[in-house]
Amino acid sequence: MAESVDIRALNELIEQQSSFVTNLQTGMAQVIVGQKHLVESLLIGLLSDGHVLLEGVPGLAKTQAIKTLAKLVDAKFSRIQFTPDLLPADVIGTMIYSQKEEKFQVEKGPVFANFVLADEINRAPAKVQSALLEAMQERQVTIGKETFLLPSPFLVLATQNPIEQEGTYPLPEAQVDRFMLKVIIDYPKQDEEKNIIRMNINGEKNDVKPLITTKEIFEARSVVRQVYIDEKIEQYITDIVFATRFPEKYGVEELKDYIEFGGSPRASINLAIASRAYAFIKHRGYVIPEDVRAVAHDVMRHRIGLTYEAEANNVTAEEIVSKIINKVEVP
């Protein structure tokens, strides 16, 4: 009985605290038509302190969505356009000699911002990618002999184009794992596309003003951490991840030849954290199986290694996650 009272109190708290989510979604909708999943994914990243990788063909408002979210939050935003000739110093910063001071001084790079948009991350060579990914993981940067902490909140929102192979450097699996979510962006629906045409040919420009401060984000994050996860839900999450490692134990033995390696403990942690954030977005104080299912593809798709056999048979990580979710018993 005490637990149900706690849940009720928690629900009321989250109902109050999560009202700004609706405001952010409304603010995004002024600029971005449709793309509900994209907007929700960015909000999950923001509330969970997790980096997001967006993949989709050009022109699907990936960059626009990230820029709009950064404007809605009163925070520092920087954009890095990744190119094959980019150097790590162009991202993290470097030492510059000052003639006036007669000594070397630190010139901080664009990574020192709250929102960092890494546009077309797969266009830069491995050295640059690893410099950014190290900053993502450690939340600090070393320039010369000094180590600098990155501002908080610090969120990397990267985009990549899946169709071009020429002049690209695919992110290694171990490095893609640093992203909490990998979101696949699809084309808008037909009626949404009509609205997009209208907005653009009429020259409508919506002025986006900050709706929320970084302080409010920290407060929201502390509330997200209070969202209740039942032991049965924890078991459900571990079952999903373990099914990617030992499919034969979960009645999906046909996937065994297609999976080279399954999700790591990082997959389980991120699945739980993202489920909590999703419940918060839905103004709920507890996680239900539908929350886990809603975020499972984005959390898992880049954490499953495919064998040559899978590629030969055109089996994708997407299909593997779908089969596992449909097979694993729901609590």
In percent, the amount of the chain with pLDDT more than 70 equals 95
Q: Which amino acid is at 98?
A: S
Instruction: Tell whether domain 31-201 is in CATH 1.10.10.60.
Output: no
CATH 1.10.8.80 domain residues, the chain: 227-327
pLDDT of residue 165: 66
User: Distance (Å, rounded) from C-alpha 184 to C-alpha 54?
Assistant: 6
Q: How many CB atoms sit inside 10 A of residue 97's CB?
A: 9
CATH 3.40.50.300 range(s) for the chain read 31-201
Return the minimum-mean-pLDDT range out of 65-74, 190-199, 215-224. 190-199
By the 8 A CB rule, do 41 and 298 touch? Answer: yes
In this predicted structure, which of 31-35, 84-88, 259-263 has the lowest mean pLDDT? Answer: 31-35
Condensed to tens digits (0 to 9), the pLDDT of residues 117-146 reads 888 888 888 888 888 888 888 898 888 888
User: How many Å from the N-terminal Cα to the C-terminal Cα in the chain?
Assistant: 21
Whether the pLDDT of residue 2 is over 50: the answer is no
CB 315: neighbour CB atoms within 10 A? 19
pLDDT surpassing 90 at residue 273: yes
Looking at per-residue confidence, does 179 or 169 come out higher?
A: 179
CB distance 255 to 328 below 8 Å: no
Distance, in Å, from the CA atom of 190 to the CA atom of 181, rounded to the nearest integer, reads 27
pLDDT over 70 (residue 205): no
Q: Residues 201-216: what's their mean pLDDT? A: 77
Contact 79, 106 (CB under 8 A): no
In terms of pLDDT, which residue wins out, 58 or 304?
304
pLDDT at 228 over 70: yes
Instruction: Give residue-wise pLDDT tens across range 231-243.
Output: 999 999 999 999 9
More confident residue, 178 or 292: 292
Q: List the CATH code of the domain at 227-327.
A: 1.10.8.80
Looking at the predicted structure, is the pLDDT value of residue 3 above 60? Answer: no
